[in-house]
Amino acid sequence: MKNNIIFFIAVLLCSCGDDSGGGVTPPAVVPEISIISKNVNENPETSELLVEVTLSQSTTEMVSVNVETISKTAEAGSDFESLSTTIEIAPGQTKQTVPITILADDVKEIDETFSVLISGAVNATIKFEMATILIKDFDEAVYTEDGYETASNQAGYNLVWSDEFDGEVLDASSWTYEMGNGCNKDLCGWGNNELQSYSDQPENIKLEDGKLIITALEEPYTSARIITQDKREYKWGRIDIRAKLPKGQGIWPAIWMLGENINEVSWPACGEIDIMELVGHTPNISHGTAHWGNSGEGSQFQGSSFSLSQDFADQYHVFTLLWKNNSMQWHVDETLFHTITTDNTQGFNYPFNNEFFFIMNVAIGGNWPGEPDETTVFPQTMEVDYIRVFQEK
Ligand SMILES: [Ca+2]
Ligand SMILES: [Ca+2]
């Protein structure tokens, strides 16, 4: 009993000893801690990015938190230096910066991202745990004699399907020929008053030297059109298509996609993604366009174009769609020229977070290019070296 009393007094003394100011110390506030997303340029030389970690308010305690980088399409070791550390924010402060080394190269790349994660906060609760760092690339595209080429592996992605067109015959497990003149009920011409009839014959479509070759022939106009409907349908990813395009008045090559639900909701509600379209009287301009909305007056589209100093018929170029949740970005030779997001829908349903299939064709005539004339040289070919679909890991 005596020992217990002494212990009790000792506890009282101890707790009084902390209270030397005479008042009661308020409990320290527990602020919220966040890490802030940022864009950075890939400079010609290695550079330092300062990422900010912020508190919602200052506190009387030392705050600490673990910070680590996570590779995405930007990779530790080649695009930035991996970091895993603990930082402290001193009492009374509300901010600390974390230096991350951004590595330089002279390789043309599509803008890349990595993440910075905070965890294990002491004296704070985590509000925003993940920052996205976008590295913007300004390197020049490098061309070989036959044009531009992209890497067959892409950091941060898995290759989920590709057709390199290396075989003797078109892969029927991926592609279906669409045949005929497009007459459907009382409409003719594939919906755009086009003149061609599509065939599956070698004079119009064949594989040769690792390329898919679609050939447009003069009157009676014939060409080819292939689709992956019900065979290869994808949602989101990076899509690379390397192709050399035809030219001339009235020639209209296209590499494009339609929503797989087209038979249920019809066009354009299903969505259309034109990765590449070219009208042959402007053979140095590739167009990227999205279509959506309701049929008739509710039909919406938004496009942009990319111009070369040469014709797209002179060399191979790579048409890339970077397609993410709620956004799509069009590139030629890894240079961005068009972006569509959910902010662009004009109040209509955004159909692009859905599965789509591919279409490749060369049309002749039609509403946009008009008819061929005496300047048009036949035959005209679209040569496709590869189509590759990558999806984020
Ligand atoms: Ca670069
Ligand atoms: Ca090939």
- Whether 17 shows a pLDDT value over 70: the answer reads no
3-state secondary structure 53-85: EEECCCCCCCEEEEEEEEECCCCECCCECCCEE
HSE, CB side, 13 Å, CA atoms: give it for residue 361. Answer: 30
Q: How far apart are CA 384 and CA 317, in angstroms?
A: 10
pLDDT category at 184 given cuts 50, 70, 90 is: low
Mean pLDDT of 333-355: 96
Rounded to the nearest whole angstrom, what is the distance from the C-alpha of residue 212 to the centroid of ligand 2? Answer: 8
Rounded to the nearest whole angstrom, what is the distance from the C-alpha of residue 135 to the centroid of ligand 1? Answer: 9
| Residues contacting 281, CB < 8 A, separation 6+ | 248, 249, 250, 369, 370
As given in the structure block, the two tokens for residue 364 are: 């002749």
| Residues contacting 147, CB < 8 A, separation 6+ | 242, 244, 315, 316, 317
What is the model's pLDDT at position 19?
A: 46
End-to-end distance of the chain based on CA atoms, in angstroms? Answer: 67
Rounded to the nearest whole angstrom, what is the distance from the C-alpha of residue 38 to the centroid of ligand 1? Answer: 18
The ligand with the least distance to the CA atom of 243 is 2
Rounded to the nearest whole angstrom, what is the distance from the C-alpha of residue 141 to the centroid of ligand 1? Answer: 10
Going by their DSSP bridges, the two strands 38-41 and 130-136 should be labelled as parallel
Q: Which domains does the chain have, with CATH numbers?
A: 32-136 (2.60.40.2030), 157-392 (2.60.120.200)
Residues 42, 109, 277, 334: which is the catalytic one?
A: 277
Rounded to the nearest whole angstrom, what is the distance from the C-alpha of residue 148 to the centroid of ligand 2? Answer: 13
| Residues contacting 324, CB < 8 A, separation 6+ | 236
Rounded to the nearest whole angstrom, what is the distance from the C-alpha of residue 365 to the centroid of ligand 2? Answer: 28
What is the model's pLDDT at position 192?
A: 77
The ligand with the least distance to the CA atom of 102 is 1
Asked if residue 31 has a cis previous peptide bond (ω within 30° of 0), the answer is no
Q: How far apart are CA 271 and CA 299, in angstroms?
A: 10
- Whether 15 shows a pLDDT value over 80: the answer reads no
Q: Quote the pTM value.
A: 0.88
Annotated catalytic residue 272: yes
| 122 closest CA partner among 34, 241, 33 | 33
Q: To the nearest whole number, what is the mean pLDDT of the chain?
A: 92
CB of 280 closer than 8 Å to CB of 247:
yes
What is the model's pLDDT at position 194?
A: 87
The ligand with the least distance to the CA atom of 384 is 2
Q: What b-and-e string marks burial along 263-287, b requiring 16 or more CB atoms within 10 Å of the CB?
A: eebebbbbbbbbbbbbbbbebbebb
Residues 42, 109, 272, 383: which is the catalytic one?
A: 272
| Cα 105 to Cα 17, 72, 140, distances in angstroms | 61, 18, 11
Rounded to the nearest whole angstrom, what is the distance from the C-alpha of residue 143 to the centroid of ligand 1? Answer: 15
Mean pLDDT of 18-24: 54
Annotated catalytic residue 219: no
CB of 129 closer than 8 Å to CB of 119:
yes
What is the model's pLDDT at position 26?
A: 74
The ligand with the least distance to the CA atom of 44 is 1
What is the model's pLDDT at position 289?
A: 98
- Whether 359 shows a pLDDT value over 60: the answer reads yes
